[in-house]
Chain A
Amino acid sequence: MSPEKMPHIPEVKTTPERVLEEAGGEAKVAKKEKLAPEELETRVTELADLSAARAEVSKHVRETWGGLTKQEREDLKAKGDEAVIAHFDSLKVDPELREFTESTLAETDARIQELASNPDVLKAYKERFETLKETLASVLTFEHLQKELRATESREQKLRTLYEQFGRSPGPIERKKLEELANRITETRKELQGFELDEAAVDMLRRREIRGMQRDLAQYNFAETETRTELIREVLPDLLQGAPVLFQGETGSGKTQLAKYLSQKYLDKEPAIISVSEQIKESQILGARGLEAGETIFKYSEFVKAQKEGRPVILDEVNLMPHEFAGILHDFLQKRVGDVWTHPVTGEKIPITAPIMATANLKSERYKQRYELDVATLRRFIGGAGAREIHYLDLGKKDKGGGYIAPETLKILGAVLADRHGNIEWSEAEAPQKADELRRFVAASRKIQEDFTLSIREGSEESLARTDRLAFRELVITLKDQIEIMKAWKSGGFKEPLQQIILREFFHKAEISGRAAKDRENMVRVFIANKFFANTKPEDFKIQGLAAQSLRQWQGKE
């Protein structure tokens, strides 16, 4: 990589320098202590930790002030106490919380000043910072190349799809352009292959990946992992051209969340989500007449309003759409961005500016006939971005020895458990045991999801009885459930054993009745097989009809 291609890292002052400057700079540098090398290293590390944490501490102060910057806060204070009190009253901020965040920031700054006032410490810190900057530059370049490769590949794929769709061969100029793209892809791949990454850069890349997932989870309740990224890359070119896409999958496999994520992140639009049910009314699709200021008007539905506003529509569980609306749906699904749709009641011509996404549950044989998407509707999706199946993360993934593995799930749960620096607050001594707990939890969840999926696909209990599979009819532990359990574990500082959290956050919250109770019994069996609940009493699960004798058998006590 030639230096001119390196991304620009601006020359900025380090946090300790800025804190010192704000506090009066060099005036505070009173004396110079002679430090032993170990002591110097300890102080530099402390200074680095404080500097890294300061951004978050400062953010908390800003949040408790309702988003005011430091200057804005000073301006408000200058207006007097009454103005400040009125501001906090309007924000309804707990004064104790504000006091806490401000004192934390003041103490952080005081300690930074104290440490940085020794020139040797500050110098060593700056050296460390410079090294980090170099690593960051290398990491940014690497990420830039990866993004460029993805973008070029996607552009090339989009163009090729276009020619395939229209069944024509590219002309000489187009061929040249395509060739240029292909060459660029080869070059970028080569550059990436030859890219020198040292350990520090790899460490930083991995931490940045986690941070990226944390951001996406916070913003979209969704994080991309390899298989999801691949799926997005496949559907996005068509979706951008306005073709409809259907995501079919098991309950809780993330279909709706994926559609929302695509809309918000890639189409940059807030989608309208229409929950389809057998009871859906025409008014919910097209709108209804109503009165406004004494006049009869036609109030458009969310569905139509979204189209008029150019927002994508997500038809959730479209397979439940009653047949009488099939005509409207089919008409709509044939439209592409740029087409005009005529509202059947008002006759208004609505230009289509955003695509339709739909989700459908894959149902068990028992319900299949009732819920299966009719062929005519399904056909509307094929040829566009298409009907895609989306399954639980890591479904069917096994290691060479045939054991279930869950790399993508672990990646997401790791991001949930980690702090913003990519670390999980487990001490060195407890980490192996905690990691083992986590892996067993993920293994149990995977087994439940695998068996649930097979129950859905293969149906009857008789065909399952001969294998080690357990039948799950209605309940499954989804990624969302796993994330909630992880959040609860983390918020308790990992002090409680994971099984307590599973009991509280999952078993006690899940529905207790009939068939679902049988599913939860089976879940208990799976967790016991993964070394959870070895001594848990039947009543602790709160499962209706869970027999003590069966539980003891599963626990190996009888």
Chain B
Amino acid sequence: MPFEAYKLYQEYEPDKYKTSTQKKAEGVLKEAEEMGLGEKHETIEFREAKELLGEDLIGPEEIEKTWGFRPDEIPEVPFSREELERAKEMGQMLVLRVERTGDGKPMSLEAMNAILAKRWEKEKKGGFLNTAEGWRDRVTGSKDFAEVVPRSGWALVGKDLLPESTSKNYLEQTEIIVRALREKSFKDIEMPEEYEEAIREFEANKARLTKLMSENWQQAAKELSELKINQLTRQSIQETIYDLAMYYDVNGKRLLPDRYTWSNSRSTDGSLVNLGNFDSGGVDGYRWGPGLRFGLLGVSLSRRL
């Protein structure tokens, strides 16, 4: 069977000869999705999820406790019971993230700091950011510090680093994430197409990105952070801090007290930000090129739908 020459480039012309049936089918599916008639995922009731996860569910009540307001609309938990049971086995918590504070401001690091820093000091709970100025001046820059917010909605977040993810560079960590998704999170559970596609994109670019890391680390950092898989499964700076703060505030336990997770955010100099070491001084962080490895640095698996 010879090789059809057009297979060399047809992926770049996906719409060139799309049949009208394909177009119609795509149109109908899109319409159905817009009308909420897409494939139904058997999701779990909130009450049932609370029973299952206990203190590892950080929901509207916890938001009220930490941030001082109850969100008007609570989205449905988008995961099935089976997925939450699996998440529990994997040591994950379920967090509801909001992007606005009670008074409608962006839930930025600046806003979170304004809400928590003084209260924690007063309640002798220790520091929130170590230090707020350091985060603003050396990592995010003033604009992002005041404007960038967590992506809203429910997320399953690892309370600890993925086993075997320490002493790995950013790309190797991403491989560990993919393995965890395949062998744990979605073992015997159908993986959503979004994840399949993200993994395909990663696999297709892996060799090139490995090379790029040694040739141009800034570009590699940018591309790695933008990979769909890392957008889907890693926390941003704001999300990590939001999650750590809420869990500590409501449960009194500091996660990642002596280790760091590598986020999908980049600092102002283009390096990838890792954060953790959440002790009484507050959440600490570093900005590193993607090729570095460190024994205390791994990644917490965080996934959204």
Residues of chain A whose beta carbon lies under 8 Å from any beta carbon of chain B: 193-199, 201-203, 205-207, 209-210, 400-403, 405, 407-408, 410-411, 413-415, 417-419, 422-428, 431, 434-435, 438-439, 443, 467-468, 529
29 A-B pairs in the complex with CB atoms less than 8 angstroms apart: A195-B20, A196-B21, A198-B19, A201-B17, A206-B6, A206-B10, A206-B17, A207-B4, A401-B226, A401-B227, A402-B222, A407-B9, A410-B12, A413-B8, A414-B8, A415-B5, A422-B6, A423-B2, A423-B3, A424-B2, A425-B2, A425-B3, A427-B2, A428-B1, A428-B3, A431-B3, A434-B3, A443-B208, A468-B216
Contact between chains at B215 and A468 (CB < 8 Å) = yes
Contact bitstring B222-259, A, C-beta under 8 A = 1, else 0: 11001100000000000000000000000000000000
Nearest chain A CB to B161's CB is how many angstroms away? Answer: 26
B211 in the interface, Cβ–Cβ < 8 Å?
Answer: yes
B113 in the interface, Cβ–Cβ < 8 Å?
Answer: no
* Nearest CB in chain B to that of A202: its residue: B17
Contact bitstring B263-274, A, C-beta under 8 A = 1, else 0: 000000000000
Contacting residue for A424 out of B3, B23, B211, CB 8 A: B3
B13 in the interface, Cβ–Cβ < 8 Å?
Answer: yes
Within 8 A of A (CB), among B191-243: 201, 205, 208, 211, 215-216, 219, 222-223, 226-227
Within 8 A of A (CB), among B12-45: 12-13, 17-21, 23
* Nearest CB in chain B to that of A404: its residue: B208
Residues of B within 8 A of A428 (CB): 1, 3
Contact between chains at B223 and A435 (CB < 8 Å) = no
Known: A401-B201, A467-B216. A422 touches B17 (CB 8 A): no
Residues of A within 8 A of B18 (CB): 197
Residues of B within 8 A of A425 (CB): 2-3
Residues of B within 8 A of A205 (CB): 17
Contact bitstring B38-75, A, C-beta under 8 A = 1, else 0: 00000000000000000000000000000000000000
Give the complex CA separation of A414 and B6 in angstroms.
7
* Nearest CB in chain A to that of B21: its residue: A196
Shortest beta-carbon contacts, A-B, top 6: A407-B12, A423-B2, A418-B5, A414-B5, A468-B216, A206-B6
Contacting residue for A435 out of B8, B19, B21, CB 8 A: B8
Interface residues on B, range: 20 to 34
Nearest chain A CB to B110's CB is how many angstroms away? Answer: 30
Nearest chain B CB to A109's CB is how many angstroms away? Answer: 24
Give the complex CA separation of A468 and B19 in angstroms.
43
Residues of A within 8 A of B215 (CB): 468, 529
Give the complex CA separation of A432 and B36 in angstroms.
41
Residues of A within 8 A of B1 (CB): 427-428
Q: A401-B201, A425-B2, A426-B3 are in contact. List 10 more A-B contacts (CB 8 A).
A: A197-B18, A400-B201, A401-B223, A403-B208, A407-B12, A407-B13, A411-B9, A428-B1, A431-B3, A438-B8
Known: A402-B223, A468-B216. A193 touches B3 (CB 8 A): no
Residues of B within 8 A of A468 (CB): 215-216, 219
Give the complex CA separation of A199 and B201 in angstroms.
25
Give the complex CA separation of A439 and B7 in angstroms.
12
Q: Give the one of B9, B18, B208, B223 with max A CB within 10 A.
A: B9
Residues of A within 8 A of B21 (CB): 196
Nearest chain B CB to A447's CB is how many angstroms away? Answer: 10
Nearest chain A CB to B193's CB is how many angstroms away? Answer: 17
Nearest chain B CB to A223's CB is how many angstroms away? Answer: 13
Residues of A within 8 A of B23 (CB): 193
Residues of B within 8 A of A443 (CB): 208
Residues of B within 8 A of A424 (CB): 2-5
Q: Give the one of B19, B211, B216, B222 with max A CB within 10 A.
A: B19
Nearest chain B CB to A50's CB is how many angstroms away? Answer: 16
Residues of B within 8 A of A417 (CB): 5
Residues of A within 8 A of B17 (CB): 197, 201-202, 205-206
Nearest chain B CB to A34's CB is how many angstroms away? Answer: 28
* Nearest CB in chain A to that of B216: its residue: A468
Contact between chains at B19 and A202 (CB < 8 Å) = yes
Residues of A within 8 A of B226 (CB): 401-402
Residues of B within 8 A of A411 (CB): 8-9
Contact between chains at B8 and A197 (CB < 8 Å) = no
Contact between chains at B20 and A194 (CB < 8 Å) = yes
Residues of B within 8 A of A203 (CB): 4
Contact between chains at A207 and B2 (CB < 8 Å) = no
Nearest chain A CB to B80's CB is how many angstroms away? Answer: 30
Known: A402-B226, A529-B211. A207 touches B12 (CB 8 A): no
Residues of B within 8 A of A414 (CB): 5-6, 8-9
Give the complex CA separation of A428 and B1 in angstroms.
6
Residues of B within 8 A of A193 (CB): 20, 23
Residues of B within 8 A of A201 (CB): 17
Residues of B within 8 A of A438 (CB): 8
Residues of A within 8 A of B211 (CB): 529
* Nearest CB in chain B to that of A203: its residue: B4
Q: Give the one of B3, B23, B208, B211 with max A CB within 10 A.
A: B3
Contacting residue for A403 out of B3, B4, B13, B205, CB 8 A: B205
* Nearest CB in chain A to that of B207: its residue: A531
Residues of A within 8 A of B5 (CB): 210, 414-415, 417-418, 422-424
Residues of A within 8 A of B19 (CB): 196-199, 202
Give the complex CA separation of A197 and B103 in angstroms.
55
Nearest chain B CB to A274's CB is how many angstroms away? Answer: 36
Residues of A within 8 A of B227 (CB): 401
Nearest chain A CB to B230's CB is how many angstroms away? Answer: 11
Give the complex CA separation of A194 and B19 in angstroms.
8
Nearest chain A CB to B32's CB is how many angstroms away? Answer: 21
* Nearest CB in chain B to that of A192: its residue: B20
Give the complex CA separation of A210 and B4 in angstroms.
10
Contacting residue for B6 out of A194, A209, A413, A434, CB 8 A: A209
* Nearest CB in chain B to that of A419: its residue: B2
Residues of A within 8 A of B10 (CB): 206
Nearest chain B CB to A465's CB is how many angstroms away? Answer: 13
* Nearest CB in chain B to that of A442: its residue: B8
Residues of B within 8 A of A202 (CB): 17, 19
Residues of A within 8 A of B223 (CB): 401-403
Residues of B within 8 A of A418 (CB): 5
* Nearest CB in chain B to that of A436: its residue: B207
Contact between chains at A405 and B201 (CB < 8 Å) = no
Give the complex CA separation of A207 and B7 in angstroms.
11
Nearest chain B CB to A59's CB is how many angstroms away? Answer: 20
Contacting residue for A210 out of B6, B13, B208, CB 8 A: B6
Give the complex CA separation of A419 and B216 in angstroms.
40
Residues of B within 8 A of A403 (CB): 205, 208, 223
Contact bitstring B154-197, A, C-beta under 8 A = 1, else 0: 00000000000000000000000000000000000000000000
Q: Give the one of B6, B23, B216 with max A CB within 10 A.
A: B6
Give the complex CA separation of A203 and B7 in angstroms.
10
